[in-house]
Amino acid sequence: MSISPNILKVLSDITGEPRVDLAIHDIIRDAVEHRLEKIQIELTGLEEKYLMPFKEFDIKFQSEIIPGQFSYPVEKDYLEWEGLIHRQIRLEEILRSII
């Protein structure tokens, strides 16, 4: 694989790392950490909206005791929340594998 000199310079400028393999590693790590931060903000928003963590919400949702749970907004929140949890877990696994 070849990388253009312009991209190599940008990688070096962004990371301060002259070695391309280490620069790419740093960029990937930063990208994963940034995505995890964004996910955490979204998770916190849902926890604040429903005043509980997902595990508790999930138990109540499965027991059909969440007010309005069959409404589109609540079902949408549930699916998004569950997806965020799964993405967070996957990104944490990726981060551990590259550190």
Give the span between the Cα atoms of 40 and 17, in whole angstroms. Answer: 29
Which pLDDT score, from 0 to 100, does residue 2 have? 85
Entry pTM? 0.86
**61-77 per-position pLDDT tens digit:** 999 999 999 999 999 99
Residue 3 has pLDDT above 90, yes or no: no
- What is the phi/psi pair of residue 3, to 5°? -120, 135
DSSP state of 67: T
| AA identity, residue 79 | L
